Structure formats: structure tokens, C-alpha cells
Amino acid sequence: MSHEIASYLDPKNLGAWGTYLEQIDRVTPYLGPLTRWVETLKRPKRSLIVDVPIELDNGTIAHFEGYRVHHNLSRGPGKGGIRFHPDVTLSEVTALSAWMSIKTAVVNVPFGGAKGGIRVDPKKLSQSELERMTRRFTSEINMMIGPQKDIPAPDVNTNEQIMAWMMDTYCVNQGYTTSGVVTGKPISLGGSLGRRDATSRGVFVVAREAYGQMNRELSGARIAIQGLGNVGGHAARLFAQAGAKVVAIQDHSGALYNPNGFDVDALLDHVSLAREINGFPGESITSQQFWSSPCDILIPAALESQITPANASSIQAKLIVEGANGPTTPEADDILRDMNVTVVPDVIANAGGVTVSYFEWVQDFSSFFWTEEEINHRLDILMVDAFKGICDVAKKHDVSLRTATFIVGCERILKARQMRGLYP
């Protein structure tokens, strides 16, 4: 199908945005009368490109390109992370903002979808350069964000410290302290207990549910994980605690295999110091061997477009749980469906992060903070319910979990869009 696309997105190189558009095309036949509004989902509401100049430690000036995109605000304020990565583009951020709209609707939290990022390799910056860049970026996107407007959060290469700088910059500009402008903050600034590993916990909960539906238990299951950052790292720990074996891992520095299962605590200690898996004991394998490694559950938890026709048919896992956003291309999705591999899509699998972001935002507004047990318990219940609802829709329409998840998410967004109507 040909796509009507926003003119500023390069039609020859759609990447993740192309994947998203294809996903919308696949769900459209199931949307009934709401199809009248579907074009809404194919266009971001507003996009901002900013220049971020900073003085480097050596006295020279460097310029970085930054973005904040509001995809859809029909159901509430924008919500979505900030990514620092050399491959960030407006097109990528637009796709990620759109997946946030679907994700917040799927778990039924009252937010729209947004995303931001800076095209930078943060590993090349000193801590003070990173702070200056984060603060200047926050000032430049000031008109887009706010506790009732759009609430950023961590994503690839961003963390609690960066959220603290963003919050401080916004509050200094406003002249008062308002912690609800970002989530994923340090606890001392109104952050939520349980937020740091919430995305991973959500991945773990849906993996447990999906594997349970296959009449299998996590104890003894062999897990392969791509990416050991915000999502993959904590997920590895949760799976190991449940008695599963993490047998294959991959990051930007290489891939390792250990059929007996890695010592996950030692692995995470190594990664927190070295910032990569390289140097950790294990059999060094190629990327192709990583994708084809013998395992039961595969967790892509890095970047987009990792599972493609080039590696999909060699995958051994019977269950894929998408910790990353957009890791599987639509062509690979078709191959996996024909192989009878169950794919739990990103917009439910990694929705634990934004769900606890919602809990954090609610706690900030009420200035009343919950216990970690309460947060983890509420997260578990919400994820299990959302996943069950999706499985019911998948059965009813005889469609993949991805299409079912998109049916649930798109219906919620477009019903809100329809009720609000066009103005002026």
C-alpha cells in the first residue's frame, strides 16, 4: 500500500516510521467506522527540531540536533522518553512517538504519545558537557513540555540524572518547582519506587503470562537478550531470579554464549563498570550465531529493525518478547508467523515503564507516595489484564498479537479523536 506521508520525512528512507505505517495499514481493516479517522495516526500532531549549541571542555563550540515530537494528544498530555544516540533522526523520533500513542492507549493510561532525542554519541561527552547539552536542549523544547502538556522520561542512553537536570532546567525557567514535568526522576526529587526496573518488570510479567499460555514455566527456560541497558539488564536479573537461564547476550561490543547460563549479577556488575559485555567470560559468538542460538525466549531490548528477513528464519525461540521499540520489521513478522513463533509486541511488552511513569506522575500530583510493593503489585495486575484483553481480541479476529494490540490501542485513540471532533 502506498503511504501519504508528512513531506519532511524522507520517503526513500522511512526506517522505523515505515514499519509503523505498515502496522497501521495492517490494523485498518479491523477498525470499522473509526477508519474515517485513521489518517490521524499517520501524521504527527507537531514536531520541533532544535539546534543545541554547547561549549565543550576544550573551549570550542559544538552543535547537536535535537527533536521533540507530539504524535497524538487526543487522550491526554504527551508522554515518552528522550533518546541520546548518534543515529537519532526526526523520522526515528516520529515513529517512536507514534508507538508511545499506541502504548499509552493499550495500557489505558491517560496520556498521548510523544518522543524526543538528540543526535549525539553521549559516550564521547564529559559529565559536564552532558549536563550542558541536556539543559540547553530542555530550554529549547521548553514550549513543548510541562506536567499537563508533555512529560519526558528516560530512553536509550538517558537516566535519572538526566531527568533531574531536565526537571531543574524547566523549574528554574518557570520560577517554581514542579516535579511532574518528567518521570523516571531520582527518588529524592519525587521519583517513584519501582520505576527504574519497571520496563523490565513489565517484559518479565508478559513473558511469564505468554509462556504460561504455552503451558511452560520460566524456571529452567533458556533466555537470549539483545541489549543490557535500561531494559535488558534488569530483565536478565528478573528472569534469573525466576530460575531461568540467560544463555545468550549481545550488545554493541559483541555477543556471548553460555549454555549453562551466565552469572547475571556478575554480568551486570561488569556491564555497569565496562559499559559493555566485551571482556565478560563466555564463548564469543557472531551476531548471526546470536540470533540462531538455541533458546526458548528471545528478548530484543536494544534498537529498532533488528529482526529482519536476514535473521528471522534462523531464530530458534518459540516466544519473542519485544523489550525494545520496533525491533521487528513487518517482513520478519510474517516469517515468524509462518514459523509459529509467538511475538509479544513492544507496545504491550515494554509498556511497564510508561505505566510506572503514570504512577509517578499521579504520586507527584497528589504528593503522596506509594510503597514499592504497591507499585509492583499494581503494575503486575495492569499488565496481566491488558495482556489478557489483547489475547481475547487476537482470538476473536484470528490475528497476531501485534495486530490485536494495535486494534485495542487504535480503537481507544480514534474513539477519543472522534468524540472530540474537529475544531475549528
d(CA 382, CA 165): 31
DSSP string computed for 235-278 = HHHHHHHTT-EEEEEEETTEEEE-TT---HHHHHHHHHHHSSST
Q: Which is nearer to ligand GLU, 139 or 159 (CB)?
A: 159
Least separation in angstroms between residue 59's CB and ligand GLU is: 34
Determine whether 245 is an active site residue. Answer: no
E-assigned strands of 132-244? Answer: 150-154, 222-226
Note whether 229 and 156 are within 8 A (CB). Answer: yes
- How far are the Cα atoms of 164, 190, 364 from residue 367, in angstroms, in the given order? 18, 8, 5
Residue 24 or 231: which CB sits closer to ligand GLU? 231
Kindly state the smallest distance separating residue 117's Cβ from ligand GLU, in Å: 10
CB 299 within 8 A of CB 232: yes
Q: In this complex, which beta carbon is closest to ligand GLU, that of residue 244 or of residue 324?
A: 324
List the grid coordinates of 411.
Answer: 480503537
Q: Considering 42, 45, 103, 115, which one is annotated as catalytic?
A: 115
- C-alpha cell of residue 13: 528512507
Q: How far is the CB of 220 from ligand GLU (least distance, A)?
A: 30
- For residue 52, the cross-strand partners are 64
Closest approach of ligand GLU to the CB of residue 155, in Å: 4
Chain residues that interact with ligand GLU, rule: CB under 6 A: 79-81, 153, 155, 183, 325, 350, 353-354, 357
- CB nearer ligand GLU, residue 47 or residue 200: 200
CB of 175 vs ligand GLU, minimal distance in Å? 25
* C-alpha neighbours within 13 Å on the C-beta side of residue 28: 16
Q: What Å distances lie between residue 145 and 49, 116, 170, 365, CA to CA?
A: 14, 11, 9, 16
Answer yes or no: are the C-beta atoms of 71 and 101 closer than 8 Å. yes
Q: Which is nearer to ligand GLU, 257 or 361 (CB)?
A: 361
- Size of the chain in residues: 424
Q: Which is nearer to ligand GLU, 165 or 290 (CB)?
A: 165
Least distance from ligand GLU to the Cβ atom of residue 24, Å: 18
The residues annotated with a catalytic role in the active site are 115
